[in-house]
A = this chain, B = another copy of it.
Amino acid sequence: MDISSLGEFGLIRRLTENISLKNASSVKGVGDDAAVLKYNKKEVLITTDLLLEGIHFDLTYVPLKHLGYKSAVVNFSDIYAMNGTPKQITVSLGISNRFSVENLEDFYEGLKLACEVYGVDIVGGDTSASLTGLCISITCIGEVEKSKVTYRTGAKDTDLICVSGDLGAAYMGLQLLEREKTVFKGESDFTPDFTGKEYLLERQLKPEARKDIAQFLAEKEIVPTSMIDVSDGLSSELLHICYESKVGCRIYEERIPIDYQTAVMAEQFNMNLTTAALNGGEDYELLFTVPLALHEQITEMKGVSVIGHICKQSLGSALITRDGNEIALQAQGWNSLS
């Protein structure tokens, strides 16, 4: 169905007609000049992400449903990185004329699924034509108790550096998709073989935010001294924490968590595995610091690795390689503007 047959308001009604509000803080959602929310005792968190076709995603191999899911999840990840809980999103779309109503319904299906899984309400947005590619802007609103807000600024000398899950897999998934796209060109009956690489594709196409880590920290009553989510690469994020906290760090190459599929793929691509894990990005894992005294509690946490420690700023930020060398960390992660 052609979008122009519905017009802006018809399209919005069609995409949002089945949306019901689940959260007590969502007073009024889609359908007025602004959404109305009620946050009584908790602090309100606001984060926003802009995703542009050709820069952040390639519709040649990204299904719209997955894109909808991922667009929501990357925002939730920012809220968890503040030690908060995502509660609402607004969704703005710029749509070029090659999209059908069904395409947008696919996108919304992914969006709604993510919202269902993470307990988030869609409360508003804006829909417009775009002269060129698809443009997605999502703003996420979350809540957090005042005593639990976790900034990038609180890391202290001797704190442990912890990271959830494993790193570099989403980047390898992207390399794989890009390679198959190149191979595919001009062959209409080409079916790429992704056997044994499912994890890499899933990490790239349908990432999850670490809701479970936030819950675990809450249960154990641990408030990290600093926290950030790994979107642009471990190295870049760690340097953000060090810069904002005015500290340095040492991390150990051998402790960086890497999945075996990531390692196999790096071998096949003849890429340095540690570099991929440090700079790949789009992992959406949580990187955080805790006081040294919590060492035992943290090592009990399933799916969390202690990869190093914070030190004085004057000592700089470095990786200790397997053979004991120190290499200064550099922000070589993903940066669309450089």
CB under 8 Å from chain B, chain A span 252-307: none
Shortest CB-to-CB span from A21 to chain B, Å, is 13
| A35 contact from B45, B90, B227, B229, Cβ within 8 A | B45
Given contacts A8-B335, A36-B149, A129-B336, contact A92 B43 (CB under 8 A): no
Given contacts A43-B38, A44-B39, A45-B36, contact A31 B244 (CB under 8 A): yes
A interface, how many residues as a size bin? 35 or more
Chain B residues near A40: list those with CB within 8 A: 40-41
Which of A132, A244, A337 is most buried by chain B, counting CB atoms within 10 A of its CB? Answer: A337
| Complex CA–CA separation, A245 to B82 (angstroms) | 40
Q: Is the CB of A135 within 8 A of B94?
A: yes
| Complex CA–CA separation, A31 to B226 (angstroms) | 13
A204 within 8 A of partner (CB): no
Shortest CB-to-CB span from A45 to chain B, Å, is 4
- Interfacial residues, chain A to chain B (CB-CB below 8 A): 3-4, 6-9, 11, 27-28, 31-41, 43-50, 52-56, 78-79, 81-82, 84, 88, 90, 92-95, 123-133, 135, 137, 139-142, 144, 146, 149, 151-153, 227-229, 244, 331, 335-338
